[in-house]
A and B are shown apart, each in its own frame.
Chain A
Amino acid sequence: MAENILELCNITKTFGNLIAVDNVDFTLKEGEVHAILGENGAGKSTLMHLIYGLYQPTSGSIRVAGKPKIFKTPRDAIANGIGMVHQHFMLIENLTVAENIALSVVHRRVREGQALALRVKRGSVRDFYPAVREGQALALREPQGGEEHRGTQVREGQALALRTQGFQFKKADAVKTTEALSEKFGLAVDANALVGTLSVGLKQRVEILKALAGDARILILDEPTAVLSPQEVDGFFTILRNLQADNRSILFISHKMNEVLQISDRLTVLRRGKNVYEGDTGELTARELAREMLGEEVREVVREERKPAPEKVLHVSELSVRGSRDELAVADVSLTTHRGEIVGIAGVDGNGQRELAEAIMGLRETSDASTVEILGKAPRGTKATRLLGVGYIPEDRQTLGLIPSFSVAENLELSVLHLKQYGWLLPQKKRKETALRLIDDYDVRPPNPQLDAGALSGGNQQKVVLAREMSPEPELLIAVNPTRGLDISAARYVHQNLLAQRNRGKSVLLISTELDEVLQLADRLYVMTNGKLHEATSHRNDIEALGLLMTGGST
């Protein structure tokens, strides 16, 4: 196939001590669909953001169509024909489809027009049109820099020509442009519909149209199928094929193995920021790819086998929960944990883990058939659940785990269980001592209990949540991604602590996207995909089978 339209050479990106992308080489060919596979935190999104100009590489170089480029902002990337569709749509809900698309174009034109007007130095609007004509003439004049250069000049000339009419917004034109685009690529969407009324799949089309309206030659799609229903996925694949037929290149991030195998021409696997595999689709089987994705890790914490006590601590049956988009986020889940047992749930983000945890904590409405029993009782509401002695480390520490404007000390007592122990007065001396002790135990930095929690770094905020929820040794601990954002030594401390609680007869439900963590700690193991729970204890030594379960394949 054709030439390399995008080349990354020795790209490294660090955030503080964290190496998010580690010396990655990568090429994208013209007209191919290229999939990026990897676990959460493998560096996929960071890599895409580097290409799209949201981040700048710490070292290494990026070439677009053979020419070295540095993108300081997404604007630069767009100007070079790179478009990105984010997982969270950037659309204005109460404008129509055509207006949304026109907005991105008009916006760009105005900026370009301003820049041009400045360049002409006279600065007044009246001089703008002569400048544009000049620009057109310039573009059409005999090219000086060979074939490549000619292409850009012609495109620039076209843009300039468009600009002369594009200064005032004409709704009819916007509709026409939108319809032309949507017809060309088979992206059927009603140009006059309000974006807010569209389904998720259609919104995604609008996003793609927006990128195409910006004349994107390279389209980056961040987990495009995560939000789509199976029927919509088929339609989406047709769109990709149409784009490919127009010789556009597509880079897409996915966790779903079968989709990747179905649609991509080539694929790249990232693990811990490194490019561990790049090749044509079909070279490796799904099992082999899963192995590349997950790797084989040295297990650091030793879990001795123990028989859990027969007593049930958490008993969930037929639990169904609707998510924020009214989709069935948790589908008919049954689950039991016992004393002295860690039950692990592995899985890729967004498969219903968050909703499951929140439903157990009484924070979400559940279907009528659902039952959640804790220590033989069915608590109603979060307060009752907490008072039974349940600790909860939520996925979202910023809004669910902490109050940023409260001090660290105040956040360390943010649970009805603590408050109940206090009685009606806050015991000044005791709370200060407790705060200092926990800050010391969990190594919260800076060690100042009076500091606003919002001023701490993400990892230290997580430590505050962990200290609060784990230190009282709850009968049941619901831990969602407990070590996210922690460095290795802090994570190991948490792992040891979880095991110690288990050995003392407490029960832990560990929900994590880190497969290693679950494998290291859990006595029994499940994988959650699409809201369903799959028993996976028997696959504990078969990492390929686990990978397949996590990516929605069957074993």
Chain B
Amino acid sequence: MIKRWLGMPALILISAFATNGIIMLVCGYNPLEAYAAALGGAFGNGRKLGETLVKSTPFLMAGLSVAVAFRCGIWNIGAEGQFLIGALAATWFGTKLAPFFPAIPWIAVPLCLCLAALAGGIWALMPAFLKVTRGVNEVISTIMLNYVAIYLVSFMVDSGPLQEVSQRGPQSDRLVEWVFLPRLFPPHRIHLGIVIAIVLAAILTFILFRTTFGYQLRAVGAGAAAAEAAGISIVQNTLRVFFISGALAGLGGAIELMALTRRLFLNFSPGYGYTAIAVALLAKLHPLVTMAAALLFGALTTGSYAMQRSVGISDKVTLVMQATILLAVLGYGSAKFLKDSTIRKQ
């Protein structure tokens, strides 16, 4: 069982690292030296490991969003947009509403997180309604809504209502302090959001595999016709999956904002929602395994900084690395999985 779970990802990683090593070799770098530096940079000491965890969190949140959706037969490519909308809602709350609130983090922070989750979920309900009422393919509608979200954010922070009051740059004001997500060991950046993400991964696993609610979600994803004949509502469960998926991504955006950047700006997300698809597929769409996959992608990010510092390799190599992993995932792992699911859909 464990062998089955680990075999494929191991194969994927080995081939991706090998391919990348060849690329580095061709470019005149020593790949072993580079990987050693990356490893040290990502896991070398407690502080570095903590930073890797920090970088992993958005991958984990968006990855959970994708994993839940795909697992339930919904091809939500919209995590990117939902992530941004969550951050947008949190920004609005943290800069416009929270100043009128009592300065108590225990009230403001959960409220802000809930609002962001709600915003992400509602954003995801748009393609959901299009799908259940008009049969619009969610792959297309969610991708298109990503652009809507991206431009909505740029409008809001660049001369829009959420731009900083001083109007100096395309960014929002800083959130008020009582909606900051607390850092666990200041001055280190490790924050409460990491804990939230891990707990959510566990809760999601429990919901999907141990409750009748999750059973129904999975049943609709794996065999819609059979689920319907069993009396499980396809429409209801489709809406639920979209909402949950969107809420997770939205929450991810809010966590990133409230814990780290503390203000919204152009290009707030460097494509977390898209990378999350690779994360989720690498994890075989299992929420718990998504933690490991997200950690890997976080480590790639911190590791690439180290490679840049000590070996002088551009951090663009990370992107190449991510791309090779994604290709390897498609090549080995999900090819069979995707094939199975299309057959089932027909």
Residue of B nearest to A410 (CB): B215
Residues 406-431 of chain A: 1 if any B CB is under 8 Å from the residue's CB, otherwise 0? 10001001111101001111101000
Q: Is the Cβ of B222 less than 8 Å from the Cβ of A392?
A: no
Q: Assess A417 versus B231: contact at CB under 8 Å? Given A400-B226, A402-B223.
A: yes
Residue in A387, A417, A425 whose Cβ sees the most chain B Cβ within 10 Å: A425
Partner of B210, one of A382, A414, A425: A425
A404 with B231, Cβ < 8 A, contacts A410-B215, A426-B211, A426-B212 known: no
Closest to A450 in B: B1
A285 beta carbon closer than 8 Å to chain B? no
Query: A135 vs B211: C-alpha distance in the bound complex, in angstroms?
Result: 71
Contact B212 A383 (CB under 8 A): no
Of the residues B219, B222, B229, contact of A361 by C-beta under 8 Å: B229
The answer, yes or no, to whether B188 is at the interface (CB within 8 Å) is no
> Residues of B contacting A402 with CB < 8 Å?
223, 226
Q: Which chain A residues numbered 410 to 464 have a C-beta less than 8 Å away from chain B?
A: 410, 413-417, 419, 422-426, 428
Given A363-B228, A416-B230, is A405 in contact with B340 using a C-beta cutoff of 8 Å?
yes
A31 adjacent to chain B (CB < 8 Å): no
Is the pair B226, A399 in contact by a Cβ cutoff of 8 Å? yes
Find residues 362-421 in chain A having any chain B CB closer than 8 Å to their own CB: 363, 381-383, 385-387, 392, 394, 399-406, 410, 413-417, 419
Query: B231–A383 contact, CB under 8 A?
Result: yes
Interface pair A423/B212, CB less than 8 Å apart? yes
CB distance from A467 to the nearest CB of B (A): 14
Assembled-state Cα–Cα distance A400/B228 (Å)? 8
Distance from B321 Cβ to chain A, minimum over Cβ atoms (Å): 31
A363, B229: Cβ atoms closer than 8 Å: yes
- Residue from A382, A392, A403, A426 in contact with B223 in the complex, judged by beta carbons closer than 8 Å: A403
Given the complex, which residues of B lie within 8 Å of A419, measured CB to CB?
212, 215-216, 232
CA–CA, A426 to B216, complex, Å?
A: 11
User: Which residue in A385, A404, A417, A426 is a CB contact (below 8 Å) of B215?
Assistant: A426
Least CB separation from B234: chain A residue? A382
B225 at the interface (CB under 8 A from A): yes
Write the nearest CB–CB distance from A380 to chain B, whole angstroms: 12
Contact B231 A385 (CB under 8 A): yes
* Interface majority SS (helix, strand, loop, mixed), chain B: helix
B206-239 residues with Cβ-Cβ distance < 8 A to A are 209-213, 215-216, 218-219, 222-223, 225-233
Closest to A397 in B: B226
CB distance from A400 to the nearest CB of B (A): 5
A406 touches B222 (CB 8 A): yes
Q: Give complex CA distance A406, B71 in Å.
A: 12
A405–B226 contact, CB under 8 A? no
By a CB distance below 8 angstroms, the chain A residues around B232 are 383, 416, 419
Q: Are B223 and A424 in contact (CB under 8 A)?
A: no
Specify which of A381, A385, A414, A428 is in contact with B219 (CB 8 Å cutoff): A414
A477 to chain B minimum Cβ distance, whole angstroms, is 14
Residues of A within 8 A of B233 (CB): 381, 383
Bound CA span A399–B223, Å: 7
Which residues on B sit within 8 Å (CB–CB) of A394? 229
Residues of B within 8 A of A383 (CB): 231-233
* Known contacts A419-B212, A424-B211, A426-B211; is-contact A400 B225 (Cβ 8 Å): yes
CA A85 to CA B261, docked complex, whole Å:
67
* Listed residue (A382, A386, A403) with the most chain B CB atoms within 10 angstroms of its CB: A403
How far does the alpha carbon of A422 sit from the alpha carbon of B212 in the complex, in Å? Answer: 8
Please report the C-alpha to C-alpha distance between residue A416 and residue B237 in the assembled complex, in whole angstroms: 13
**Residue on B nearest A398 in the bound complex, by CB:** B226
Q: How far is the CA of A426 from the CA of B227 in the complex (A)?
A: 17
Residue B344 interfacial (CB < 8 Å): yes
B337 CB, min distance to chain A CBs, angstroms: 10
Alpha-carbon separation in the docked complex, A399 to B344 (Å): 8
Cβ contacts under 8 Å, A413 to chain B: 215
Residues on B with beta carbons closer than 8 Å to the beta carbon of A422: 212
Q: CB-nearest residue of chain B relative to A405?
A: B222
Name the A residues within 8 Å of B344 (CB-CB).
404-405
**A406 touching B223, Cβ below 8 Å:** yes
Complex interface residues of chain A between 224 and 279 (CB less than 8 A to chain B): none
The interface residues of chain A lying within 8 Å CB-to-CB of B222 are 403, 405-406
Given contacts A403-B227, A405-B340, A414-B219, 5 further A-B contacts (CB under 8 A): A363-B229, A382-B231, A385-B231, A405-B222, A405-B344
In the assembled complex, 27 residue pairs joining A and B whose CB atoms fall closer than 8 Å, in A order, are A361-B229, A363-B229, A381-B233, A382-B230, A383-B231, A383-B232, A386-B231, A392-B229, A394-B229, A400-B225, A400-B229, A403-B227, A404-B223, A404-B344, A405-B223, A410-B215, A414-B230, A415-B231, A417-B231, A419-B212, A419-B215, A422-B212, A424-B211, A426-B209, A426-B210, A426-B211, A426-B215
